[in-house]
Structure 1
Amino acid sequence: MGDEEEQQRSLMFLLTYMLLKRRRDINHADIQRRDEIQRRIRHRQYFFQRQRRMLMMMIAGGMRSNVRIRTRPWTTTPRSDWWERVVMTEFQPSDWLDKFRMSRETFFYLCEKLRPRLARQDTSFRLALPVEKRVAVALWRLASNVEYRTISALFGVGKSTVCRCVRDMCHAIVALLSSTYLRPPTEQELEESAQLFHSYLGFPHCVAAITTLHTAIITPSSNASDYANPAGWLSVLSQVAISGQGYFWDVCASFPGGTDPAEILQNSALWATAAEGGLSPAQTPVFMGKPLRYVLLGEACYPLQSWLMKAYPEQKSRRGCRTALPEPQQLFNRRLGRALRASEEALLRLRARWQCLSKRNDCGLDVVPTMMLACCILHNMCESHGDAFKAEWQVEVCEAENPQPCHKALAPASMDQSDAEEVRGLFCDYFQQQRT
């Protein structure tokens, strides 16, 4: 009997402990549930109060705008619905071109292409910006280079949002559109470019010109002297290859402004591609009765190669006086200079359309190269879609920007290719035959 009583007491003790523990767990769960309910109530109260304040501000802004005399409905509108109420409903084709540097059709084409990278989900407390508005904010910045706070007030978004839109769109353009608008040319495009260089610029057997672009920047936190270009101001240096159509085929960005252009070229993918014959058809074309790959044109700072032609340098006598070049070499230099001016005009169109490249860019150094690539891609897209270009944009750039530096230092003769002089002689012979 003693053992049975002991077992019963143990069982009663265990049941009592379990009942007490269960009651404690239930009480704890009730407390957590009440706390969660109170937290949600506070959040909802905060949300409704915030929505009420925003509604009152919108109503007050609408009342002020009703009594304001305006010459044009969208020039002085401070409301956050300016994008939906004005741009999407009242903008004319000329407005789209002036403010976004592209037609309405090209704008929405761009939005659809970038949607996979730019679309965002709504949250419980905030609606995500539509892709179209994010693209518009970024394009406004690229086209005008105005301050973030100006765009922030115009579109009714925060300055940090403007910065994020610019970064996100530039990265999305490079990731999604490079393969379409910034890629190596096809054989047909090579032939078309060679025909344009020949017929319009007077230089045969050439498919592209290589040149440089300096983008002004704010003083970096370190190694500022490396970014001083030959003109004395701070910049980021980019190397571009421009076709006869004015398209950018290759862009190599992100170098300090004081970098030697020849060094950039030798370390770029363009050098390897051209040296291996990648810028000529599979069947080598014939020039002056000899098989010769298509050539590129470059400034005097680049090394002379069998595929890269540059001007003959000025000759000096032992006394240091300049001596005139032979007539064939002078003629070659004039024709090459004329062809290179076409590439300068393409760069001017690029800087005029996207003025973030012509004025001092206050973005971080990690953003400027991506922005440069994005602008070249957008340029090619607008040109291929046939969007209009306004001449007054070029006037604005020529009046506002610092002149592009001139790289006068010649590339060392040791960098020249041994058989390149013979190729340059063929072009001299061709131009002489054309004169007779």
Structure 2
Amino acid sequence: MEEDVLFLMTYMLLKRRRDINNANMQRRNEIQTRIRHRQYFFQRQRRMLLMMIAGGICSNARIRTRPWTTTPSTDWWERVAMIEFQPSDWLDKFRMSRETFFYLCDKLRPRLARQDTSFRLALPVEKRVAVALWRLASNVEYRTISSLFGVGKSTVCRCVRDMCHAIVALLSSLYLRPPSAQDLEDSAQLFLSHWGFPHCVAAVSTLHTAIITPSNNASDYANHGGWLSVMSQVVVSGRGQFWDVCASFPGGTDPADILQNSSLWATASEGGLSPSLPPVFMGRPLRYVLLGEACFPLQGWLMKAYPEEQGRGARHTAPVESQRLFNRQTARALRVSEEALLRLRARWQCLSKRNDCGLDLVPTMILACCILHNVCESHGDAFKAEWQAEVARAESPQPGHRQLLSTRMDQSQAEDVRRLFCEYFEQNIS
């Protein structure tokens, strides 16, 4: 009995000693880990301080003319862009004014702000937005932007993705929303005064964005120009701003099918783009109309040009003089969408050059660029003519679409509406 008690006491003493030793070892390991973390943090702070001191010395010795051309990438953003950039530099590099840039940062801060950790300092929201805007504006490679801003390539990719999603999530309701009754009236006035087309509030067009070869169904993305693209349907107001954007369709999709399956078709068919009491046109109440390209079907709310003379055996004949006059006025008014898309592609060249982002990101990027276009236009930011020259040299000019001759989607009373516009132009245009 005494031997059993002695054995039990010995076992308990040994177990107690082992537990104490394990606890002491764990405590020492935690202390050593904290010391290493603190040493790393202090060493990083010391390097940053030395870089700031060296940058200050170099800046005092360097000539002030165009300093950002030879500045090391370590302090390019903090010192050069934020302090020494002139208004023209902001427009050239970020396609917007400094004021609009910081307005955009404040709007996106809830989604883009990150917390510092024990291992690294989080990128400021302003730098994250600048990295993404540089990519959207220039479409240069990630490694080039990585060297310029002093961040990793994966960080550049993450900044672009995060900002595009943040723009769509936070700014769509402000800058890409259905028009109000006042918006419709103002747009109708602009179409009449600037483009000579009455009772019209918007133009519908298509945009092709070149992409790299997708892993699946690559043939579906080949458009009529012979290159791979993602097609978007856009609705442009009289101010040259986008009211609706329907992206993510393969480049080989029929534009008429996109229109019929879009929210625009349901909204306009139900009278959502006109006041509840239709305004009077040519002595009769008539809902506002939109203008579309020849590839779209003729609807009571969507006007398009009469078909030109077809070849032998065609069902359509050459348009008469009143119809030719209607076609000329329609082509003139459709310039509002052509110019808006040109400005969009010139400002954000990721849409005019081949986009090498993943196919899952391209539609979101298109939406984000359209929203940014509206932001810049509504804020009155300048647009430089030389940007258009860069678009003219782009690898992928916009392809045309075949004229829709079939009447399977045409609305029966649409021809009466189009004839009413012909009468208006005959009476008001000599």
1:283 maps to: 277
Map Cα deviations across residues 70-124 of structure 1 (whole Å, 9 max, x no partner).
9521012223111111111111111111111111111000000000000001011
Separation in 1 of the partners of 2:387 and 2:285? 43
Matches within 5 A, 1:81-160: 81-160=75-154
**Do structure 1's residue 348 and structure 2's residue 342 form an aligned pair?**
yes
Separation in 2 of the partners of 1:158 and 1:320? 60
2:386 maps to: 392
1:180 maps to: 174
Separation in 2 of the partners of 1:317 and 1:129? 62
Separation in 1 of the partners of 2:314 and 2:188? 39
Give the 3-state SS of the residue equivalent to 2:140 in structure 1: coil
Alignment counterpart, residue 162 of structure 2, candidates 155, 165, 168: 168
Displacement of 1:341 after TM fit? 1.6
Alignment counterpart, residue 75 of structure 1, candidates 62, 69, 75: 69
Given that 1:58 and 1:79 are in contact with CA atoms closer than 8 Å, whether structure 2 keeps it comes out as no
1:430 maps to: 424
2:193 maps to: 199
Q: TM-score, normalised by structure 2?
A: 0.93
Given that 2:41 and 2:118 are in contact with CA atoms closer than 8 Å, whether structure 1 keeps it comes out as no
Matches within 5 A, 1:1-20: 17-20=11-14
2:265 maps to: 271
Separation in 2 of the partners of 1:435 and 1:362? 48
2:370 maps to: 376
Separation in 1 of the partners of 2:410 and 2:240? 28
Matches within 5 A, 1:240-389: 240-316=234-310, 318=312, 324-389=318-383
Displacement of 1:57 after TM fit? 8.0
Amino acid paired to 1:32? Q
Separation in 1 of the partners of 2:311 and 2:349? 45
- Percent of aligned positions with the same letter in both sequences? 80
Separation in 2 of the partners of 1:338 and 1:91? 40
Separation in 1 of the partners of 2:82 and 2:55? 20
Alignment counterpart, residue 209 of structure 2, candidates 187, 206, 215: 215
Give the 3-state SS of the residue equivalent to 1:236 in structure 2: strand
Map Cα deviations across residues 297-352 of structure 1 (whole Å, 9 max, x no partner).
00111111100001111244755699531111111111101111221011101111
Displacement of 1:58 after TM fit? 8.1
**Do structure 1's residue 29 and structure 2's residue 17 form an aligned pair?**
no
1:3 maps to: none
Given that 2:37 and 2:119 are in contact with CA atoms closer than 8 Å, whether structure 1 keeps it comes out as no
Amino acid paired to 1:280? S
Structure 2's unaligned 5+ residue stretches are none
Amino acid paired to 1:341? R
Given that 2:303 and 2:418 are in contact with CA atoms closer than 8 Å, whether structure 1 keeps it comes out as yes
Q: Single out whichever of 129-138 and 284-293 deviates more from structure 2.
A: 284-293
Taking structure 1 as reference, are residues 49 and 84 closer, same or farther at Cα in structure 2, changes over 3 Å only?
A: closer
Q: Single out whichever of 270-279 and 317-326 deviates more from structure 2.
A: 317-326
Q: TM-score, normalised by structure 1?
A: 0.92
User: RMSD between aligned alpha carbons?
Assistant: 2.5
Displacement of 1:403 after TM fit? 2.0
Amino acid paired to 2:113? A
Separation in 1 of the partners of 2:43 and 2:375? 46
Amino acid paired to 1:173? I
Taking structure 1 as reference, are residues 198 and 290 closer, same or farther at Cα in structure 2, changes over 3 Å only?
A: same
Give the 3-state SS of the residue equivalent to 2:205 in structure 1: strand
What is the number of residues matched between the two proteins? 430
Amino acid paired to 2:75? D
Q: Single out whichever of 335-344 and 32-41 deviates more from structure 2.
A: 32-41
Displacement of 1:31 after TM fit? 2.0
Amino acid paired to 2:300? S
Separation in 2 of the partners of 1:87 and 1:197? 40
Separation in 1 of the partners of 2:40 and 2:351? 44
Displacement of 1:218 after TM fit? 1.1
Separation in 2 of the partners of 1:369 and 1:228? 17
Give the 3-state SS of the residue equivalent to 2:70 in structure 1: coil
Given that 2:55 and 2:75 are in contact with CA atoms closer than 8 Å, whether structure 1 keeps it comes out as no
Map Cα deviations across residues 4-52 of structure 1 (whole Å, 9 max, x no partner).
xx6x887776555444332221122112222333444455556666777
Displacement of 1:251 after TM fit? 0.1
Taking structure 1 as reference, are residues 351 and 72 closer, same or farther at Cα in structure 2, changes over 3 Å only?
A: same
Amino acid paired to 1:351? R
Separation in 2 of the partners of 1:366 and 1:316? 41
Matches within 5 A, 1:32-51: 32-44=26-38
Q: If you compute each CA radius of gyration, which structure gives the higher value, 1 or 2?
A: 1
Give the 3-state SS of the residue equivalent to 2:235 in structure 1: strand
Structure 1's unaligned 5+ residue stretches are 1-5
Separation in 1 of the partners of 2:262 and 2:242? 15
Separation in 2 of the partners of 1:388 and 1:394? 13
